[in-house]
């Protein structure tokens, strides 16, 4: 039986149509505490393996209690930022660059960059309630960084075009995002923080993001898998962070606020091993893709 048009969904990334009745899908709970009792359905494109939220929601309602907006600088965050900065330098960032952190949240990484001598860095976040990060970012940047933003937007192609329009010819765009290709929707619970419902609208696979970039004449300079906040400091790595979250209700709020409890499962041999060596055994859930804009557009 041919599916009706209402049963078909088109992937906003590759354009392939999928039948919701046959597509791989899952119902997952929110990993934000005020909404942890709510479940949301996601489905995976059979063509490019990107993952999409099935239903439209009132995002303003959910972002009103978004835990990332209330963060403050602390020792673990500085270590994570130090590692992230090292990765960006390896991709071509220099102190002379005009840097834009697009989707900067509360602006902590921008503040860290400025403190490290990247004095031309500034940030912008569409959900900033006020202050410098709510102001239009202007144009002319030669390094645009966007961590964990593209999966939040309604149209990934339009989002990439926005970054291109903000940048100079020849600029570098660095996109950090989960890789949908490693998410197993037949067993979604271990991936609840990558799925991050209802905030993540379209999670791209690495092949989908690369294909999308090439279709926009963006040169792919590097694709790096790994949690950008990994640190050799015990406990400050992606593997142990997931254990910490699971031990504290599998929601983000308390962990981001530093209100975590040391549970017995965090003292198990496997947990201690992850705390000590997790940065060297990354799960590969996150990807960082560096793109170069053509010199002449």
The CATH superfamily assigned to 68-179+206-292 is Vaccinia Virus protein VP39 (3.40.50.150)
Domain boundaries, the chain: 68-179+206-292
pLDDT tens, position by position, 197-246:
999 999 999 999 999 999 999 999 999 999 998 999 999 999 999 999 99
Count CB-CB contacts under 10 A for residue 214.
12
Q: What is the pLDDT of residues 132-171, one digit of tens each?
A: 999 999 999 999 999 999 999 999 999 999 999 999 999 9
202 three-class SS: strand
Residues recorded for the chain: 297
State pTM to two decimals: 0.93
Residue 127: Cβ within 10 Å count = 16
Q: How many helices (H) and strands (E) does the chain have?
A: 9, 12
Confidence label for 71 from pLDDT (cuts 50, 70 and 90): confident
Q: Which of 95, 65, 87, 89 shows the shortest CA–CA distance to 251?
A: 65
Cα→Cα distances 80→11, 61, 62, 120, 263, Å: 34, 30, 26, 21, 23
Decide: 123 and 104 in contact? Cβ < 8 Å.
yes
pLDDT of 3 > 70? The answer is no
Please, which pLDDT band fits residue 129 given cuts at 50, 70 and 90?
confident
What pLDDT was estimated at residue 35? 97
């Amino acid at each position: 039986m041919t599916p009706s048009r209402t049963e078909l969904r088109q992937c906003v990334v590759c354009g392939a149509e999928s039948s919701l009745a046959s597509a791989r899908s899952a119902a997952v709970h929110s990993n934000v505490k005020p909404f942890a009792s709510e479940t949301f359905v996601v489905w995976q494109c059979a063509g490019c393996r990107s993952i999409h939220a099935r239903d439209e929601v009132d995002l303003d309602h959910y972002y009103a209690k978004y835990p990332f907006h209330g963060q403050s600088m602390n020792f673990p965050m500085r270590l994570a930022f130090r590692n992230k900065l090292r990765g960006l330098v390896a991709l071509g960032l220099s102190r002379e660059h005009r840097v834009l952190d697009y989707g900067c949240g509360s602006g902590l990484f921008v503040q860290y960059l400025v403190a490290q001598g990247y004095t031309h860095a500034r940030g912008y976040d569409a959900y900033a309630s006020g202050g410098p990060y709510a102001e239009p970012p202007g144009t002319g940047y030669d390094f645009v960084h966007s961590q964990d933003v593209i999966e939040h937007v309604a149209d990934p192609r339009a989002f990439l075009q926005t970054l291109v329009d903000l940048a100079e010819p020849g600029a570098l765009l660095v996109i950090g995002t989960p890789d949908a290709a490693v998410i197993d929707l037949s067993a979604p619970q271990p991936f609840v923080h990558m799925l991050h419902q209802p905030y993540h609208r379209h999670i791209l696979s690495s092949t989908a993001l690369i294909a999308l970039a090439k279709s926009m004449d963006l040169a792919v300079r590097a694709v790096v898998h790994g949690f950008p906040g990994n640190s050799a400091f015990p406990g400050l790595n992606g593997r142990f962070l997931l254990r910490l979250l699971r031990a504290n209700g599998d929601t983000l709020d308390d962990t981001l606020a530093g209100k975590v409890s040391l549970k017995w499962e965090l003292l198990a041999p496997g947990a201690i091993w992850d705390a000590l060596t997790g940065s060297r055994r990354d799960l590969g859930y996150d990807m960082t893709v560096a793109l170069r804009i053509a010199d002449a557009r």
